[in-house]
Amino acid sequence: MSSIANLSAQQLRQAADLKEKIAVLETELNQLLGSSAKTVATPVATKAPKKKGGMSAAGKAKVAAAQKARWAKINAAKSAPAAKPVVPVVAKSAKKKFVMSAAAKAKISAAAKARWAKIHAEKK
């Protein structure tokens, strides 16, 4: 079947005429059979996208009421100038930073150099 874009003007006119004839013949057939419904091919209706999630009106009302209660509690605490309890700030016990001695660094460095020297010697 060819695309409409590839049809000439004469072919398009013929197609339109044929469609009109088909529509007339279908209406005549429906009248003979006593059917009042049109049988003209209609494009298939696509389903509307399904609503994801959502909340019922009752659920929304519960959430709104809970939020209003939270804000009322916060605003009541702000408006009442109550003496705040003094909580002493306790400093975290600072973990002593691990410091490696110079001798330990030198020992590790020497071992690493010896490993690499061995690897390079094996390659030669």
Q: Where are the domains of the chain?
A: 7-33
Mean of pLDDT values over 18-23: 95
Could you tell me the pTM of the whole model? Answer: 0.27
Residue pLDDT, tens place only, 52-68: 778 899 999 999 999 99
Residue pLDDT, tens place only, 84-103: 666 666 566 677 888 999 99
Count of C-beta atoms within a 10 Å radius of residue 87:
6
Task: State how far the alpha carbon of 102 is from the alpha carbons of 95, 112, 116, 119, in Å.
Answer: 21, 15, 21, 26
| pLDDT-based confidence at residue 82 (cuts at 50, 70, 90) | low
Residue pLDDT, tens place only, 27-51: 999 888 887 655 555 556 677 777 7
Report d(CA 27, CA 38) in Å as an integer.
Answer: 7
pLDDT greater than 70 at residue 81: no
Q: What percent of the chain has pLDDT over 70?
A: 79
Chain centre distance of CA 103:
56
Task: State how far the alpha carbon of 93 is from the alpha carbons of 87, 90, 96, 100, 102, in Å.
Answer: 18, 9, 9, 21, 27
Confidence at residue 47, expressed as pLDDT on a 0 to 100 scale: 79
Report whether 40 contacts 26 (CB < 8 A). yes
pLDDT greater than 90 at residue 80: no
